[in-house]
Amino acid sequence: MKEKITQPVFRHEWKHLITWEDMLLLRTRLKAVAKADVHSVDGKYHIRSLYFDNYADRVLREKIDGVNVREKYRIRYYNGDPSVIFLEKKCKQNGLGYKLQARLSAAEARAITDGNVSWMKDTHDGLITQFYSAICSQGLRPKTIVDYIREPYTYEPGNVRVTLDYDIRTGLNCVDFLNPDCIMIPAGDEIVLEVKWDEFLPSVIRSVVQLDDARTTSFSKYQACRRFG
């Protein structure tokens, strides 16, 4: 029997492109009211993701065109440690979003990147089964590696998560995301402030993240990295 997929919880999300000076200010503000993510190392961690798309770049096109209901799959690990790898499905609908996760072993992740996916149809994990179905029906395949640094903060009321993301890099045509020697190049100099919450955003966080010159954006790291291929 396949595992049931946990009922998704839709979350609100703000994204802003900010300056380096803004980030320095936000660090000070956030440290005064929020907690650093317990999984961070010295307040940050390195994220490496491998995104999937089809031959027609459907995922990319839907993002550019602003399609209201869309989804994307990626696999990722943190701080260069492939002992913990996640398959993630991110969904957007009516401006809200949710994320589903499943654990993968390094061998399973390697098999997926190598195009060996037949084992997935026999898994007991519902999300992996969904991914296998999408690979077969939509022609999904590894498309690009996305690397970046994240500084994460949490605030319990409202289940708020605030992140500062920067140093975004792309692997160009390399999709061997378990290879630490894969050449990565800068994909731009953007710094992204993201604020996510459940039912309400506490006023203290709303005040902390308020910046006069910040631009609301639908910026996508995947889209930014696809500019290079």
Per CATH, domain 12-228 is 3.20.100.30: yes
pLDDT at 5 over 60: no
For the chain, the structural domain boundaries read: 12-228
User: Any bridge partners for residue 13, and if so which?
Assistant: 196
Task: Show the tokens assigned to 174.
Answer: 């390399």
DSSP code per residue over 157-208: TTTEEEEEEEEEEE-TT---TT-TT---EE----EEEEEEESS---HHHHHH
CA separation for the pair 82, 85 (Å, rounded): 6
Digit-coded pLDDT (tens) for 84-133:
999 999 999 988 999 999 999 999 999 999 999 999 999 999 999 999 99
Residues 37-50 pLDDT 10s = 988 889 999 999 99
pLDDT at 152 over 90: yes
